[in-house]
Amino acid sequence: MKVGVGMNRSRPSRDKKVSQASITRITRSTSSRARHPIPADPQDSGQGPYGKQRRKQTDSALAQDLSLMIVSGQDTASKGKMSQAGRNPVQACQSTSDQIFPYSFPAKSSPRGGLASAARLVKLGRCKNVLVVAGAGISTPSGIPDFRTPGTGLYANMEKYNIPYPEAIFNIDYFSNDPQPFFSLAKSLYPGSHRPNYIHYFIRMLHHKGLLLRLYTQNIDGLEKLCGIPDDKLVEAHGSFATASCHLCYTPYPAEEAKVAIMNDNIPTCSFCAATVKPDVVFFGEDLPQKYFLHTEDFPKADLLIIMGTSLKIEPFASLVNTVRSNVPRLLLNRHAVGPFERVPLRRGDYMELGDLADSVRRFAEVLGWSGEIKELMRS
């Protein structure tokens, strides 16, 4: 299935609300209006956000494990102000990737009891449908720069492209008028020069163990596929370089030919309407892939949500974390507290392990007893 800008043009708009009865399209924008509702308390007996009857919390063992998470996680939660993404569950998407750690409120790392509690749930067989929500932080150990880090991020080094503001390089209207700045940047963004790291293989191990329900990623680097995560387990919410199409009539274009043209400083053009062709990376103002709508099926099924390497500021992607059932544990592995994890006190069942992401994932794998298997997987 082709996932990207050039395939499905009826994707949900990031400017319009998504209704259960009729899903139209969602585009990347800078709107801050809510998109994904926050589920009601699981003890309520009313209908859930997807029309399904909510089940009361009756699992005392799970409740005990969640209590352990709270005891270990609340005391060290961030005391900063709630971010705009936290106040408004859905905003418009703001970049092709989500590595904005310096703009998130820093917090002390929580005790390691949360990793142990989450691992215990997995070992007890209580977490059989694990969802992973990932941002570009999972790829920085592979040497891929982020977008917004002061001094080193891509947006901090845009002067050479002579654009009015950094995000314009990913704005579809600006691209229509002047595609050259994006093509110049795309030469350094194209997949091929970077390899998956330990974090990617940890997610693949979740799949290997039969636990991964789906990985939702904001990344366009293709490293998730490269490490062996199957396409049916992957939602590339912001598209990828794997396909290309005309940005006006959406006629598919050979991705390799587009890459060759761009690498040689040429502009690929559509053979049908002569407009500019671009890789199927989702720009501001463009539709999200149809595959993104799997979230309406996946998030109500989840029994564990792992959030890693993201600022939870890019909408509507960021608000997906609010659509799991309220009794589902959420584990944030990140450099800073973000989104709902900036809330004091934390929601019941929320836990965060802050600091270096690769280190946190390695420790999580150790608690799970997967370290040796992951290393062997990377070698093979």
Helix (H), strand (E) at residue 295: helix 295-301
- Residue 123: phi and psi, rounded to 5, are -65, -30
Peptide bond just before 316 cis, omega within 30 deg:
yes
The DSSP call for residue 161 is G
User: Do 136 and 99 meet the contact criterion of CB atoms below 8 Å apart?
Assistant: yes
DSSP-assigned beta bridge partners for residue 352: 332
Q: Where would I find the beta strands (DSSP E) of 46-192? A: 130-134
Q: Which of 238, 247, 295, 336 is catalytic?
A: 238
Token pair of 357 as six digits: 């992401």
Measure the CA–CA gap between 344 and 80, rounded to whole angstroms.
9
- Closest CA relative to residue 321, chosen from 339, 336, 334: 339
Peptide bond just before 345 cis, omega within 30 deg:
yes
Encoded amino acid at 321, one letter: V
The DSSP call for residue 283 is P
The DSSP call for residue 157 is G
DSSP-assigned beta bridge partners for residue 331: 306, 351
Please list, in sequence order, all residues whose beta carbon lies within 8 angstroms of the beta carbon of residue 40, skipping any fewer than 6 positions away.
46, 48, 54, 326
Active site residue 238: yes
User: Do 207 and 156 meet the contact criterion of CB atoms below 8 Å apart?
Assistant: no
The DSSP call for residue 235 is E
Burial code of 137-155, b = ≥16 C-beta within 10 A, e = fewer? bbbbbbebbbbbbeeebbb
Which residues participate in catalysis according to the annotation?
A: 238
